[in-house]
């Protein structure tokens, strides 16, 4: 299996905008923690077979965010998880 290329800067910027939008009422530390969890979920997803990358990144993000940030509502969790999926697969 070949090494996974890094996520392009544009995708990380788009993810950062979603994190900022969903957590606009929280501090910088909270936003940074959520962003880091998203990066971990994306990395986990990108280790999968190409057809599973998106689902794996989205599922990992949803689970980790739900466990780490139970105060986030379902809408925010879903939007953040979908943003992780898009960043992982490039959509």
Let me know if residue 18 belongs to a domain. yes
Neighbours of 50 (CB within 10 A): 8
Neighbours of 55 (CB within 10 A): 14
Residue numbers of the domain that contains 44: 9-89
pLDDT at 22: 94
Let me know if residue 2 belongs to a domain. no
Let me know if residue 3 belongs to a domain. no
Q: Please identify which residue in the block is written with the tokens 């780490």.
A: 68
Q: For 81-86, what is the mean pLDDT?
A: 97
**Range of weakest confidence among 7-11, 33-37, 65-69:** 7-11
Let me know if residue 4 belongs to a domain. no
pLDDT above 80 for 2: no
pLDDT at 6: 83
Let me know if residue 72 belongs to a domain. yes
Q: What band does 62 get if pLDDT is binned at 50, 70 and 90?
A: very high
The length of the chain, given as a count of residues: 91
Using CB atoms within 10 Å of the CB of residue 22, give its burial: 0 to 12 exposed, 13 to 18 middle, 19+ buried.
buried
Let me know if residue 75 belongs to a domain. yes
If one counts the domains in the chain, the total is 1
Count CA atoms closer than 13 A to 16's CA, side-chain side: 9
Let me know if residue 48 belongs to a domain. yes
Q: What band does 7 get if pLDDT is binned at 50, 70 and 90?
A: confident
Let me know if residue 34 belongs to a domain. yes
- Report the C-alpha dihedral over residues 71, 61, 39, 88, rounded to 10 degrees: -140
């Amino acid at each position: 299996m070949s090494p996974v290329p890094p996520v392009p800067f544009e995708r990380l910027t788009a993810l950062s905008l979603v994190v900022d939008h969903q957590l606009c009422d929280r501090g910088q530390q909270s936003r940074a923690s959520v962003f880091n969890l998203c990066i971990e979920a994306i990395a986990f997803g990108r280790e999968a077979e190409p057809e599973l990358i998106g689902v794996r990144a989205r599922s990992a993000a949803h689970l980790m965010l739900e466990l780490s940030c139970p105060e986030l509502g379902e809408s925010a969790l879903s939007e953040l998880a979908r943003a992780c999926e898009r960043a992982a697969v490039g959509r």
